[in-house]
Amino acid sequence: MSSPERDFVSAHLDDLHADLDAWLRIPSISADPAHAPDVAASAEWLAAALRRTGFPVVEVWETAGAPAVYAEWSSADDGAPVALVYGHHDVQPVDPLELWEHPPFEPARVEGADGPELHARGAIDDKGNVAMHLLGMRAHLAATGRDTPAVIVKVLVEGEEESGSPHFAALLRERADRLRCDVVVVSDTGMAAPDVPSAVVAMRGLADAEITLRGPAVDLHSGSFGGGVPNPLHAMATLLASLHDEHGRVTLPGFYDRVRQLTDRERALMARVPFDEAAWLAGPAASRLATGEEGYSTLERIGARPTAEVNGMWGGYTGPGHKTIIPAEAHAKITFRLVADQRPADLADQVRGWVAANLPAGIQADVHVPAGGVSPCASDLDSPAMAALLAAIGQANDRDPADVLFTREGGSGPEADLVDVLGAPLVFLGAGLPTDRIHSPNERVLLPMLYRGAEAVAHLWRELASVPLPLR
Amino acid sequence: MSSPERDFVSAHLDDLHADLDAWLRIPSISADPAHAPDVAASAEWLAAALRRTGFPVVEVWETAGAPAVYAEWSSADDGAPVALVYGHHDVQPVDPLELWEHPPFEPARVEGADGPELHARGAIDDKGNVAMHLLGMRAHLAATGRDTPAVIVKVLVEGEEESGSPHFAALLRERADRLRCDVVVVSDTGMAAPDVPSAVVAMRGLADAEITLRGPAVDLHSGSFGGGVPNPLHAMATLLASLHDEHGRVTLPGFYDRVRQLTDRERALMARVPFDEAAWLAGPAASRLATGEEGYSTLERIGARPTAEVNGMWGGYTGPGHKTIIPAEAHAKITFRLVADQRPADLADQVRGWVAANLPAGIQADVHVPAGGVSPCASDLDSPAMAALLAAIGQANDRDPADVLFTREGGSGPEADLVDVLGAPLVFLGAGLPTDRIHSPNERVLLPMLYRGAEAVAHLWRELASVPLPLR
């Protein structure tokens, strides 16, 4: 279905390509201190691009870590609602470099099965998702013939999301007055499939723990002590083997106590999301079978249920050949994904309780659960803001709003801080796909997704102005 | 009880001290290629010392690795049995250097609670044990007034024991004719305590395995896949937790099938060995409790029963902070200590069978069990050679031979190759103590142990000539 917004976007794809091409060449890896100048350069690039787009107010906000970029464009309309776009301009590290088919910071156009792709670190996560707002805003103004947007648009693009957003909540609190808004539009996610327009309605929270088990005072000779004293590696294996029960449920005491159960409607809506489990398993997972918590579908397991994953485990001799020791220590790192209404602060006690209940005799445990963590968040499916979002996505994809599906993001981000500090409801508009290899080699964006995303942005600003306040 | 042998040893302690002082200054660390010239110098020093002692035949035998030293002294007596002394002239590395109270290659005399000690790397393992044979041979000749020993004495001192004796079996096969003997006298072990004369009667064998578990094709984002696909770290924990059953027994199928059970007499003899379990646990083990296979004492567990120890385990993210991945792989290294009559070659199938039976679904396993390994070995408690050994140890320690205790060495060494290739029985005569800190900083020898060891050597050559053949 043609629209002025679509026409404008289609006529200006080269601008989007040029922007992305330039921005993706800046290796803004926030996790690596050596790339701090690149993260700063990325912020400056975005600030300039926002000014070029027409935002009257553009500022680079320094933090105790990497800089964020803020922009604001008021509306000439009295009482126009305020939308705050959230995204990030930093990117993941690129190791292992040898697995990239193209250098990660030299954007490469590749013809894929679903259309043209752009390969680069950050192509979708999150520079692609942010760049579509530049073209989207221009399309909104051009299509509506306005000089100012129909809603007040604020943009906040942080520089530390891939490092856990350590200074984001503080920034929000410090700038809360400037950031006041009626709705937050999160652009750091995606849709279920290229032909399945959808909106994320929840993100999982995150808490992490590190466990050190100690046995002997020093590494012992396994010939002299083997079979006679506790081995911390055996103890760690036993402990971690107890992390899940035979039903795939996490065994931390109280872990499920606050979990908001899925309603029948939510489960029915999730079941509408097309999900080719076989294809999903055959992708990076390369798995012959799905596993997890009994009684839930794979989509529910990865999006709507809390989980525990051991992310790292180490101890003893790891070099070539063998070394006959009983090591002094064993280590493990675990992260937990949380769903509404779990609280990250509850995890410390739960982890300690689990370790105490499952630690083999003769072994000492140090449990470190950092304060903080990420809260889970979820959108109201029936809010006016959600109605506007569904309308915008529907138009950009030639679908009825009722055909836009709801998905749940298994990952975690600082979005929960936006809810906590700003008190605004969230909606999610992103152009990513589950097959985009974010955080992995050969990250890509499917360019038609980005074009439709830019168009949806343009529709969204118009639609948001037309729904009744309050937006939540 | 005075004897000509003891009188000679007592009168020539300065020779033993001078020999050790010179030899221990040569840092013959076989594991470090930079020390190859020192290992060669150590071999040359020993060859010269053997010539000085009077051995008519002394040769340095080159190998594909470090040189061995061979010496031979025939007997004037027709039909004299042949004894082959085994030892090694290489030493362990010295890290961590900062924990040494004296520089490791500057021998230092220290007055200890049990008498004078000599501190140096190799003080007992194994230069002390070899050096006592120099003085012991002279004492034997002087005490018996002979020009040639009462038995034909061959000496083989290798240079790669601390590196796993990689070329030792080949050397034995190549030189089997020269090395033909009726008994092997292994001098690379020790006794239970300063006032507890004893003989090692068994050493454990060794086999090792490395296991790689594979899940996803690449490290996966735990937010996108967590809780939905198998995690190789969870699988490794589950697998390794199954390595022992609830009775502390190794669960490899068939692992115990060939194990020679301890006889009641052997268990009674082991029970006579004084062992301060509390002190042993309070040492480097720093353990509050002893663990292991049910139904066996700690001494039996670490000396006479087979064991399995995970020596290393790793996978996923091990750096600072957290990284939310499901890793593609998990790894573990395991070594097994074997007892008579287990065969290292059987382990490959046993490990594979165990992995197959305990591998969680959806995970691929690569099991690598190197060929080779070390066979266990055990002495016949009732052989003529053992009778001669007990008599010699008894005389050197003013004890009845029946009061010499039997111990079992939990470690593993190339001694099994001597049995396999030369077909001769083994007896063990060593001057070490469990408290000598071999392989650790501040290795020492208790000098009175060495003096008694030299005397025992002298008695042994005489005693061996008087017992009936064959010696086994």
For the cut 80, the answer to whether the pLDDT of residue B1 exceeds it is no
Please tell me whether residues B198 and B260 are part of one structural domain: no
Q: How far apart are CA A77 and CA A464, in angstroms?
A: 13
Strands A198-203, A405-409: pairing kind: parallel
Pairwise CB contact (< 8 Å): A315 & B315: no
| pLDDT band per the 50, 70, 90 thresholds, residue A349 | very high
**φ/ψ of residue A421, rounded to 5:** -85, -45
What is the pLDDT, as a whole number, of residue B123?
Answer: 98
How close B262 gets to chain A, by Cα (Å)? 17
CATH of the domain at A400: 3.40.630.10
Closest residue in chain A to residue B209, using alpha carbons only: A322
**Domain end point (choices A368, A402, A420):** A368
| pLDDT band per the 50, 70, 90 thresholds, residue B118 | very high
Q: Does B127 touch chain A (CB under 8 A)?
A: no
**Domain end point (choices A316, A338, A368):** A368
Chain A / chain B CB contacts < 8 angstroms? 279
One DSSP character per residue, A431-469 reads -B-TTS-TTSTT-EEEHHHHHHHHHHHHHHHHHHTTSPS
Pairwise CB contact (< 8 Å): B227 & A290: no
Pairwise CB contact (< 8 Å): A285 & B229: yes
* Mean pLDDT to the nearest integer, A340-366: 96
Contacts of A310 in chain B (CB under 8 A): 231, 233-234, 237, 316
Pairwise CB contact (< 8 Å): B285 & A335: no
What is the pLDDT, as a whole number, of residue A206?
Answer: 92
Pairwise CB contact (< 8 Å): A441 & B218: yes
Q: How far apart are CA B160 and CA B67, in angstroms?
A: 8
Helices (H), B257-315: 264-272, 277-282, 298-303
Could you say which of B284, B318, B410 has the minimum Cβ distance to residue A314?
A: B318
Could you say which of A215, A312, A411 has the minimum Cβ distance to residue B224?
A: A411
Q: How far apart are CA A286 and CA A288, in angstroms?
A: 7
H/E element, A174: helix A168-174
Question: What is the ipTM metric for this complex?
Answer: 0.87
Q: Which two tokens stand for residue A32?
A: 């690596």
* Mean pLDDT to the nearest integer, A153-179: 95
Q: Which residues pair with A374 in a beta bridge?
A: A206
Strands A307-316, A329-338: pairing kind: antiparallel
DSSP A422: I
| pLDDT band per the 50, 70, 90 thresholds, residue A469 | confident
CB–CB of B339/B305 below 8 Å? yes
For the cut 80, the answer to whether the pLDDT of residue A321 exceeds it is yes
**Does B471 fall in a domain?**
no
Please tell me whether residues B18 and B159 are part of one structural domain: yes
3-state secondary structure of B326: strand
For the cut 90, the answer to whether the pLDDT of residue A9 exceeds it is yes
How close B361 gets to chain A, by Cα (Å)? 8
On average, the pLDDT of chain B sits at 95
Q: Does A10 touch chain B (CB under 8 A)?
A: no
What size, in residues, is chain A?
472
Pairwise CB contact (< 8 Å): A310 & B237: yes
Q: How far apart are CA B295 and CA B298, in angstroms?
A: 10
Give the domain extent around B356. 211-368
| pLDDT band per the 50, 70, 90 thresholds, residue B164 | confident
Please tell me whether residues A146 and A23 are part of one structural domain: yes
Q: Does A223 touch chain B (CB under 8 A)?
A: yes
**φ/ψ of residue A285, rounded to 5:** -65, -30
**Which residues make Cβ contacts (< 8 Å) with residue A126, sequence separation at least 6?**
A87, A88, A89, A91, A161, A187, A188
**Which residues make Cβ contacts (< 8 Å) with residue A154, sequence separation at least 6?**
A70, A71, A72, A73, A82, A83, A84, A85, A178, A179, A181
- Considering only residues 236 to 265 of chain B, which have any Cβ-Cβ distance to chain A shorter than 8 Å? 236-241, 243-244
**Does B162 fall in a domain?**
yes
* Mean pLDDT to the nearest integer, A314-319: 93
**Does A292 fall in a domain?**
no
How close B216 gets to chain A, by Cα (Å)? 4
**Domain end point (choices A321, A351, A368):** A368
CB–CB of A264/A287 below 8 Å? no
Could you say which of B222, B309, B331 has the minimum Cβ distance to residue A231?
A: B309
Q: Which residues pair with A357 in a beta bridge?
A: none
Of A452, A438, A448, A329, nearest in space to A399 by CA: A452
CA atoms within 13 A on the CB side of B280: 18
Read off the pLDDT of residues B340-396 as tens digits, 9 standing for 90 and up.
999 999 999 999 999 999 999 999 999 999 988 889 998 989 999 999 999 999 999
Q: Which two tokens stand for residue A190?
A: 């995606």
End-to-end distance of chain B based on CA atoms, in angstroms? Answer: 29
H/E element, A16: helix A13-24
Count the Cβ atoms, other than its own, within 10 Å of residue A76. Answer: 10
* Mean pLDDT to the nearest integer, B9-33: 97
| pLDDT band per the 50, 70, 90 thresholds, residue B60 | very high
What is the pLDDT, as a whole number, of residue B305?
Answer: 96
Please tell me whether residues B314 and B419 are part of one structural domain: no
**Which residues make Cβ contacts (< 8 Å) with residue A262, sequence separation at least 6?**
A270, A300, A304
Q: How far apart are CA A445 and CA A124, in angstroms?
A: 5
What is the pLDDT, as a whole number, of residue A457?
Answer: 98
Q: How far apart are CA A280 and CA A184, in angstroms?
A: 30
Of A236, A98, A95, A365, nearest in space to B314 by CA: A236
CB–CB of A129/A187 below 8 Å? yes
Closest residue in chain B to residue A99, using alpha carbons only: B218
Of A400, A344, A330, nearest in space to A375 by CA: A344
Contacts of A361 in chain B (CB under 8 A): 289, 291
CA atoms within 13 A on the CB side of A165: 26
Pairwise CB contact (< 8 Å): B220 & A285: yes
Q: How far apart are CA A448 and CA A192, in angstroms?
A: 14
Q: Which residues pair with A190 in a beta bridge?
A: A432
Count of the separate structural domains present in chain A: 2
Contacts of A230 in chain B (CB under 8 A): 287, 289, 291
* Mean pLDDT to the nearest integer, B444-458: 98
On average, the pLDDT of chain A sits at 95
Q: Which two tokens stand for residue A211?
A: 């466990």
Interface test mutation site (partner B, options A234, A298, A305, A364, max chain B beta carbons within 10 A):
A234
Pairwise CB contact (< 8 Å): A313 & B312: no
**Does A335 fall in a domain?**
yes
**Does A426 fall in a domain?**
yes
One DSSP character per residue, A79-146 reads T--EEEEEEE--B----SGGG-SS-TTS-EEEEETTEEEEESTTTTTTHHHHHHHHHHHHHHHHHHT-
Read off the pLDDT of residues A41-92 as tens digits, 9 standing for 90 and up.
999 999 999 999 999 999 999 999 999 999 999 999 999 999 999 999 999 9
**Does A278 fall in a domain?**
no
- Considering only residues 387 to 446 of chain B, which have any Cβ-Cβ distance to chain A shorter than 8 Å? 409-412, 434, 439-440
Q: How far apart are CA A406 and CA A202, in angstroms?
A: 9
How close B133 gets to chain A, by Cα (Å)? 26
CB–CB of B251/B280 below 8 Å? no
Pairwise CB contact (< 8 Å): A226 & B410: yes
Q: Does A235 touch chain B (CB under 8 A)?
A: no
Could you say which of B230, B286, B289 has the minimum Cβ distance to residue A217?
A: B286
**Does A240 fall in a domain?**
yes
Please tell me whether residues A74 and A123 are part of one structural domain: yes
One DSSP character per residue, A304-322 reads TS-EEEEEEEEEE--SSS-
* Mean pLDDT to the nearest integer, A194-212: 94
Please tell me whether residues B418 and B347 are part of one structural domain: no
Please tell me whether residues A118 and A219 are part of one structural domain: no
If phi > 0 it is left, if psi is from -120 to 50 it is alpha, else beta; for residue A440 that is beta
For the cut 80, the answer to whether the pLDDT of residue B471 exceeds it is no
Please tell me whether residues B178 and B215 are part of one structural domain: no
Contacts of B317 in chain A (CB under 8 A): 311-312, 333
- Considering only residues 14 to 43 of chain B, which have any Cβ-Cβ distance to chain A shorter than 8 Å? none
One DSSP character per residue, A175-231 reads THHHH--SEEEE-S-B-SBTTB-EEEEEE-EEEEEEEEEE-SSSPEEHHHHTTTS--
What is the pLDDT, as a whole number, of residue A96?
Answer: 86
Read off the pLDDT of residues B403-428 as tens digits, 9 standing for 90 and up.
999 999 888 888 889 998 999 999 99
Give how far Cα A119 sits from Cα of A447, B218, B358, Å: 10, 18, 41
* Mean pLDDT to the nearest integer, A206-213: 96
Please tell me whether residues B431 and B305 are part of one structural domain: no
How close A120 gets to chain B, by Cα (Å)? 18
CATH of the domain at B344: 3.30.70.360
- Considering only residues 315 to 344 of chain B, which have any Cβ-Cβ distance to chain A shorter than 8 Å? 315-318, 321-327, 330-333, 335, 337
For the cut 80, the answer to whether the pLDDT of residue A25 exceeds it is yes
Q: Which two tokens stand for residue A437?
A: 């290899």
**Does A25 fall in a domain?**
yes
Helices (H), B116-215: 127-144, 168-174, 176-179
H/E element, A39: helix A36-53
* Mean pLDDT to the nearest integer, A395-422: 91
Contacts of B439 in chain A (CB under 8 A): 221
Contacts of B231 in chain A (CB under 8 A): 309-310
Contacts of A318 in chain B (CB under 8 A): 312, 314, 331, 333
What is the pLDDT, as a whole number, of residue A176?
Answer: 96
Q: Does A311 touch chain B (CB under 8 A)?
A: yes
Closest residue in chain B to residue A242, using alpha carbons only: B238
Please tell me whether residues B170 and B250 are part of one structural domain: no
Please tell me whether residues B239 and B341 are part of one structural domain: yes
- Considering only residues 53 to 112 of chain B, which have any Cβ-Cβ distance to chain A shorter than 8 Å? none
* Mean pLDDT to the nearest integer, B140-163: 97
| pLDDT band per the 50, 70, 90 thresholds, residue B322 | confident
Pairwise CB contact (< 8 Å): A229 & B287: yes
Please tell me whether residues A47 and A119 are part of one structural domain: yes
How close A377 gets to chain B, by Cα (Å)? 14
How close B307 gets to chain A, by Cα (Å)? 5
For the cut 90, the answer to whether the pLDDT of residue B109 exceeds it is yes
What amino acid is encoded at B37 in this protein? P
How close A254 gets to chain B, by Cα (Å)? 18
DSSP A34: G
